[in-house]
Chain A
Amino acid sequence: MNMRAEPMNPPATLPTRSARRPLWRRVYFGVFGGDALGFAGSILLALLLIVAIVGPLLVTHDPLLTTPKTLLAPSAEHWLGTDHFGRDVFSRTITSLRIDFIVAGLGVSGAVLVGSFLGLVCGYVGGWFDELVMRLVDIVQSFPLLLIAMVLILVMGPGVESIIIVTVLINIPTYARVIRGEALSRKTLEYIDAARCSGASEASILFRHLMPNTLSPIIVHASLNLAAAVGNVAALSFLGVGIRPPTPDLGVMVAEGTNYLVQGAWWMSIGPGLVLAATIFSLNLVGDCLEGRLDPRRMEG
């Protein structure tokens, strides 16, 4: 027994003064655990997502259209100015946001699917298969992601598909590990044996019993992963091995903007960069808040 004498929990919520707590209070405490930061982060994230989804309707100009009006400072007509090809920076930023979300999102989703499946099988089957896969996972995880990504992308040829595939590959280890851990700890639980006794096939046990319980760690890791993935995609594009121009991408825009900093055209890099930072920040806020909530050690009692 913990000697700090944490109290044995009195029974679960019984109604106090009012008959029911207001909805917003229940969501605030239930989902976010009273974490104002996480709440704020999710609002910011929701805003960015809406902007990204509604993107094409919000753009003021065609993001790919080059005009002679190069390097104009931000104005009423061009909210974030124009770049070296006369393209509207604001429109390009919004379009890139969309693209980055999609690429990172697909990459992480793919990693979740493949990684979880791999981890589930490993944890459940065990044996030499488990050993082998875990060794490979170890090796992949201990490498600097960026450099692997660069090499792989160049080997496969630059382009959106390569980036997505690379993102998937890089993030598989995280989910494989997490799911494997959960599978290992649960595969000996009684309800699995009970299911077996009732005649369920091994596959259905795998999917119907083990999977739902692993959902929360997946969500936590996924949000944090997305944040890192968005950053990585932009970084790769910045270095020239990611999304190639003329497709707008936040990293590419910052890279292009660097060349014109000398001339004082700050709006080319600062604007897209801020949006990128805000996106990553909101994803991190949400992920961090969820992580604090779902950490099993936080349970009192």
Chain B
Amino acid sequence: MSDILFSLDELSIDSIRDGERRRIVDHVSLAVRRGELYGLVGESGSGKSISMMASVGLAASGLEVAGGTVRFAADQRPAADQKGLRRNLSRGVSLLFQNAKGALNPFMTVGRQVERALRQKRRVRDLAGEVDNLFRVVGLSWRDLGRKYPHQISGGQAQRVAMACALATEPALLIADEPTTALDVTTERELLRFLARLCVEREMAIVLIAHNLSLVSEYCRSLSIMHAGQVVEEGDLKAIFARPLHPYTQGLIRAVPDVDSPRELVPLVGSVWGGPQGIERCRFSHRCPHRRPDCDRGRPAAVDRDGRAVHCVLYEEVPA
């Protein structure tokens, strides 16, 4: 698959506190194609943000990469090489964060921040013009907002400014970590539509991290679902939604209200991090209605089925 732009292979991350080591990301693998809108979904604490941050060398302190490889374009290196991975940030990967106002420097005007982001790339000829252009691309006016400080603009505007900064280096991959969670529903839709448009127009791959499955389903082509640090189902979104295989995915979809066909909502039981600790197992088993002893014997391997990969012992016996 030569059009894979970015991939994680068996990424594992441990958290170390008070001398205790806990695996919080467990052999995560995913692949994003050029120009693809890729969704990464999971509950809070499922490890989706941590995985993506670590993939660009921004793993928080107290976290240690325990294994895995990251590939971006022609560059491939072990995930433990955080410093090396960070270099990708100026070479084609950009990020967006949930808290846009917090992401912007409170001491600089937004115009100057976009300017600074622009200067990161090769010599810019017409700096003022390019800044103005970037503002326009994200739907803002430099004349109106350029000299304002982040605390003087709205959340939606701040997120657009952050986007302008992220787009300044013309990235091939944009990792958007819950960019709309803090915004109201209308602004959320606007921004997502804008992201989807960018994705097509600039052939820019976007990894959209979210905890809201229905949101992702509208815009993404491929999807990865994580639970407690493990990928449970991954692949073509339409295929997954048409026929969800993993019990967790099924649970998630069942829990989403549907205006057109009202039914009783069935919530998922249990908590993300419950169940036996310290052993290699399927970390969903303790919440799973189809639980068997096999589930605790090791990490379920990926099984290819109908255009997606599912990690569940239920599908392991029947040959694909």
Name B residues whose Cβ lies closer than 8 Å to a Cβ of A: 15, 17-20, 22, 24, 44-45, 47, 49-50, 53, 58, 60, 62-63, 97-99, 102-103, 177-178, 181, 272-274, 277-278
Tell me which residues across on chain A come within 8 A of B44, comparing CB atoms. Answer: 1, 8
With contact pairs A3-B98, A7-B47 given, residues A29 and B273 touching in the complex (Cβ less than 8 Å): no
Other A-B contacts than A5-B49, A7-B24, 11 sampled, CB-CB below 8 A, are A1-B99, A1-B181, A5-B60, A5-B177, A6-B60, A8-B45, A8-B272, A10-B277, A11-B274, A14-B278, A29-B19
Tell me which residues across on chain A come within 8 A of B53, comparing CB atoms. Answer: 4-5
Tell me which residues across on chain B come within 8 A of A55, comparing CB atoms. Answer: none
Among B17, B22, B49, B274, the residue within 8 A (CB) of A3 is B49
Tell me which residues across on chain B come within 8 A of A11, comparing CB atoms. Answer: 273-274
A210 vs chain B, min Cβ distance (A) = 29
B151 vs chain A, min Cβ distance (A) = 18
A22 vs chain B, min Cβ distance (A) = 12
Q: How many A-B residue pairs have CB under 8 A?
A: 51
A35 vs chain B, min Cβ distance (A) = 11
In whole angstroms, how far apart are the Cα atoms of A4 and B53 in the complex?
A: 7
B78 vs chain A, min Cβ distance (A) = 20
Mark interface residues in A1-37 (1 if CB within 8 Å of B CB, else 0).
1011111101101101000000000000100011000
Give the 5 A-B residue pairs with the shortest CB-CB distance, closest first: A8-B45, A5-B49, A3-B97, A4-B60, A5-B50
In whole angstroms, how far apart are the Cα atoms of A10 and B277 in the complex?
A: 10
Tell me which residues across on chain B come within 8 A of A1, comparing CB atoms. Answer: 44, 98-99, 178, 181
In whole angstroms, how far apart are the Cα atoms of A1 and B211 in the complex?
A: 13
- CB pair B99–A7 under 8 Å, yes or no, is no
Tell me which residues across on chain B come within 8 A of A190, comparing CB atoms. Answer: none
Mark interface residues in A26-66 (1 if CB within 8 Å of B CB, else 0).
00010001100000000000000000000000000000000
Among B45, B102, B178, B277, the residue within 8 A (CB) of A7 is B45
Tell me which residues across on chain B come within 8 A of A10, comparing CB atoms. Answer: 15, 22, 24, 273, 277
- Closest B residue, CB atoms, query A30: B18
With contact pairs A3-B103, A5-B49, A10-B24 given, residues A16 and B60 touching in the complex (Cβ less than 8 Å): no
**Most-contacted residue by chain B among A4, A5, A13, A33 (CB, 10 A):** A5
Tell me which residues across on chain A come within 8 A of B277, comparing CB atoms. Answer: 10, 14
Say if the beta carbon of A77 comes within 8 Å of chain B: no
- Closest A residue, CB atoms, query B229: A7
In whole angstroms, how far apart are the Cα atoms of A4 and B56 in the complex?
A: 12
A278 vs chain B, min Cβ distance (A) = 30
Tell me which residues across on chain B come within 8 A of A34, comparing CB atoms. Answer: 18-19
Tell me which residues across on chain B come within 8 A of A300, comparing CB atoms. Answer: 17, 62
Name A residues whose Cβ lies closer than 8 Å to a Cβ of B: 1, 3-8, 10-11, 13-14, 16, 29, 33-34, 300
Among B18, B58, B62, the residue within 8 A (CB) of A33 is B18
In whole angstroms, how far apart are the Cα atoms of A33 and B17 in the complex?
A: 10
In whole angstroms, how far apart are the Cα atoms of A54 and B265 in the complex?
A: 72
- CB pair B63–A7 under 8 Å, yes or no, is yes
Among A3, A7, A13, the residue within 8 A (CB) of B15 is A7
B208 vs chain A, min Cβ distance (A) = 15
- CB pair B18–A29 under 8 Å, yes or no, is yes
Residue contacts A-B, CB under 8 angstroms, 14 given? A1-B178, A3-B98, A3-B99, A3-B102, A5-B49, A5-B177, A7-B15, A8-B273, A10-B24, A10-B273, A14-B277, A14-B278, A16-B278, A29-B18
- Closest A residue, CB atoms, query B276: A14
Tell me which residues across on chain A come within 8 A of B19, comparing CB atoms. Answer: 29, 34
Tell me which residues across on chain A come within 8 A of B177, comparing CB atoms. Answer: 3, 5
In whole angstroms, how far apart are the Cα atoms of A5 and B58 in the complex?
A: 10
- Closest B residue, CB atoms, query A4: B60
- Closest B residue, CB atoms, query A33: B18
Tell me which residues across on chain A come within 8 A of B273, comparing CB atoms. Answer: 8, 10-11
- Closest A residue, CB atoms, query B60: A4
Tell me which residues across on chain B come within 8 A of A29, comparing CB atoms. Answer: 18-19
In whole angstroms, how far apart are the Cα atoms of A13 and B278 in the complex?
A: 12
In whole angstroms, how far apart are the Cα atoms of A16 and B17 in the complex?
A: 14
- Closest A residue, CB atoms, query B44: A8
Tell me which residues across on chain A come within 8 A of B102, comparing CB atoms. Answer: 3
Tell me which residues across on chain A come within 8 A of B278, comparing CB atoms. Answer: 14, 16
Tell me which residues across on chain B come within 8 A of A13, comparing CB atoms. Answer: 20
Tell me which residues across on chain B come within 8 A of A3, comparing CB atoms. Answer: 49, 97-99, 102-103, 177
**Most-contacted residue by chain B among A1, A3, A16 (CB, 10 A):** A3
B13 vs chain A, min Cβ distance (A) = 9
Tell me which residues across on chain A come within 8 A of B50, comparing CB atoms. Answer: 5, 7
Tell me which residues across on chain A come within 8 A of B22, comparing CB atoms. Answer: 10
A272 vs chain B, min Cβ distance (A) = 40
- CB pair A4–B58 under 8 Å, yes or no, is yes
In whole angstroms, how far apart are the Cα atoms of A3 and B273 in the complex?
A: 21
In whole angstroms, how far apart are the Cα atoms of A213 and B78 in the complex?
A: 47
- CB pair A16–B20 under 8 Å, yes or no, is yes
- Closest A residue, CB atoms, query B21: A16
In whole angstroms, how far apart are the Cα atoms of A6 and B272 in the complex?
A: 16
A181 vs chain B, min Cβ distance (A) = 25
In whole angstroms, how far apart are the Cα atoms of A1 and B178 in the complex?
A: 10
Tell me which residues across on chain B come within 8 A of A16, comparing CB atoms. Answer: 20, 278
- Closest B residue, CB atoms, query A5: B49
A36 vs chain B, min Cβ distance (A) = 13
**Most-contacted residue by chain B among A4, A7, A8, A29 (CB, 10 A):** A7
In whole angstroms, how far apart are the Cα atoms of A16 and B21 in the complex?
A: 10
